[in-house]
C-alpha cells in the first residue's frame, strides 16, 4: 500500500488538507497530514516530516505545499520508503534553505505582521494572498486556523544531505493564478522536476480544486501500487 503524506505550508495547519484527504479516502487511498510546529528552525519541522515517514508501514508519496517544500526537501532526504515527491506551488530549493529569499529582509507587506519573535498573517489580507478562488466560507475557516510562524524559521540550517527532490521522481504543480508565490518563480523551480503540471488556480488548490489535487496524487499513487 502507498500512503500520501501531505505537508502544509507556512502559517497553515494540517487541517487545510481535509478536503483533499476526503477525496483520497473516497478513492481508497490512505493519507496522513502531519502538523508542523513552525516554532523553531527548519530542521525541527523537517524532523516531523521524517518521523511521519518513519512511522509508516508502507511506501509514501510526499506532497508539499508552499513553504512545506523546504521541510520536505530536508526531512524526506534519504527516507527509504519515499517513492515520489509532489511540490505544489512549493519551494523546491537546496536542502537547509527555508525560502528562496529571507522574508525578514523584505520591505513591509500589509498582509503580514512581522514581530520580534513571530510573523502572522493579517486576516483581512489572507483571502487575496492565498484564497481568491476559494469559497468565501471555506477561506474564512482556513484563515481562522492560520498560525504564527517563528522568525527563526527563516534561518538557514547547515546540512550535508542532498535535497530530496534530487533523489526521487518529482512532480511540480504550478498554480498559474497564484498571488502568494509568483507562477514564474514556480516555473523556474519546476525546471528541476522530471514532471510539471499546471493548475489554473490560486495558491490554495487544495481548497478550491480538491478533486484536481487528489487526482494528481492518485495518479502517482497508482504508479507504485500496481
| DSSP string for residues in 114-137 | E-SSEEEE-HHHHHHHH-TTS-HH
1: confidence class by pLDDT, cuts 50, 70, 90: confident
Taking the domain 2-223, which CATH number applies?
A: 3.40.50.1820
What is residue 226's predicted lDDT score, i.e. its pLDDT? 62
When computed from its CA atoms, the radius of gyration of the chain, rounded to whole angstroms, is 16
Cβ(86)–Cβ(63) under 8 Å?
yes
Q: How far is CA 155 from CA 31, 67, 99, 121, 163, in A?
A: 30, 13, 9, 19, 17
* pTM score, whole prediction: 0.97
pLDDT digits (tens, 9 = 90+) for 79-118: 999 999 999 999 999 999 999 999 999 999 999 999 999 9
pLDDT digits (tens, 9 = 90+) for 4-19: 999 999 999 999 999 9
For residues 47 and 51, give the distance between their C-alpha atoms in angstroms, rounded to a whole number: 6
Average pLDDT of every residue of the chain: 97
Q: How far is CA 112 from CA 48, 64, 115, 147, in A?
A: 25, 22, 9, 12
Per-residue b or e along 90-115, where b marks 16 or more CB atoms closer than 10 Å to that residue's CB: bbbbebbbbbeeebeeeeeeebbeee
Domain boundaries, the chain: 2-223
Strand-pair partners of 88:
65, 173
Q: Are strands 31-32 and 59-65 parallel, antiparallel or unpaired?
A: unpaired
Percent of all residues in the chain with a pLDDT value above 70, rounded to a whole number:
100
Amino acid at each position: 500500500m502507498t500512503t500520501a503524506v501531505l505537508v502544509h505550508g507556512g502559517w497553515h495547519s494540517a487541517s487545510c488538507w481535509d478536503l483533499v484527504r476526503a477525496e483520497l479516502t473516497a478513492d481508497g487511498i490512505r493519507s496522513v497530514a502531519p502538523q508542523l510546529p513552525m516554532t523553531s528552525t527548519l530542521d525541527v519541522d523537517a524532523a516531523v516530516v521524517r518521523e511521519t515517514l518513519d512511522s509508516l508501514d508502507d511506501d509514501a508519496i510526499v506532497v508539499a505545499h508552499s513553504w512545506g517544500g523546504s521541510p520536505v526537501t530536508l526531512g524526506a532526504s534519504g527516507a527509504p520508503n519515499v517513492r515520489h515527491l509532489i511540490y505544489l506551488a512549493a519551494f523546491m530549493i537546496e536542502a537547509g534553505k527555508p525560502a528562496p529569499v529571507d522574508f525578514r529582509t523584505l520591505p513591509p507587506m500589509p498582509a503580514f505582521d512581522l514581530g520580534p519573535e513571530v510573523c502572522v498573517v493579517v486576516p483581512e489580507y489572507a483571502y487575496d494572498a492565498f484564497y481568491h478562488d476559494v469559497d468565501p466560507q471555506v477561506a474564512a475557516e482556513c484563515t481562522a486556523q492560520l498560525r504564527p510562524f517563528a522568525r527563526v524559521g527563516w534561518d538557514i540550517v547547515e546540512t550535508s544531505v542532498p535535497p530530496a527532490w534530487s533523489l526521487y521522481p518529482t512532480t511540480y504543480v504550478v498554480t498559474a493564478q497564484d498571488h502568494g508565490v509568483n507562477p514564474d518563480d514556480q516555473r523556474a523551480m519546476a525546471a528541476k522536476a522530471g514532471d510539471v503540471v499546471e493548475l489554473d488556480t490560486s495558491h490554495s488548490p487544495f481548497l478550491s480544486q480538491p478533486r484536481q489535487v487528489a487526482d494528481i496524487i492518485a495518479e502517482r499513487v497508482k504508479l507504485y501500487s500496481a
